[in-house]
Amino acid sequence: MRRYPYFKPAQLCTDGTPAPAFLQLSVERAVRFEEVDSMGIVWHGRYPSYFEDARVALGEHFGIGYSACAREKIPAPVKQMYIDYSVPLHFGQVCTITVRLYWSEAARMNYSYIIHDDGGVRTTTGYTVQMFISQTGEFLMAQPKFYADFCQRWKNGTIC
């Protein structure tokens, strides 16, 4: 079983300079009735959408979300996903989903997630890896320009 954190923060960039710390954002969301199963708990298949809520918010906040990928015609599908369920969420609970984007100089985005219930209990952790691909579906070997520019601002400490 994996333990959080899933990604080790990079210590150095390829040029020898210190790698920037992860970026983090939290969102709140209430558990809807349609998301619970017959036991009254959130069905396990709903958690990817919880992760996506936080990932979309972080992407839009920093200008690297789905709209940026669409504008640049660079898809970034989820290549890998892992979810570790600890404590179930129930209908009506408000949960906080915290997402972290970890520094990588590869053509990928490494995200980790922590979900806490309204009592502050950690209920779920997980991660996703998104890979940048060409319009023909080939994995890119280098970051697309818009993401490389974002990473340069991240490294320089000029994003907020």
Residue ranges per structural domain of the chain: 23-151
CATH for the stretch 23-151? 3.10.129.10
Exposed e or buried b per residue across 118-127, where buried means at least 16 C-beta atoms within 10 angstroms of its C-beta? eeeeebbbbb
What DSSP designation does 126 have? E
| φ, ψ (nearest 5 deg) of residue 127 | -150, 160
The predicted pLDDT at position 160 comes to: 67
pLDDT in tens, 40-63: 999 999 999 999 999 999 999 999
- For residues 124 and 70, the answer to whether their CB atoms sit within 8 Å is no
For residue 13, the Cα-to-chain-centroid distance in whole angstroms is: 21
| pTM recorded for the entire structure | 0.93
- For residues 158 and 107, the answer to whether their CB atoms sit within 8 Å is no
The predicted pLDDT at position 9 comes to: 78
Residues of the chain with pLDDT under 50: 1
The predicted pLDDT at position 1 comes to: 46
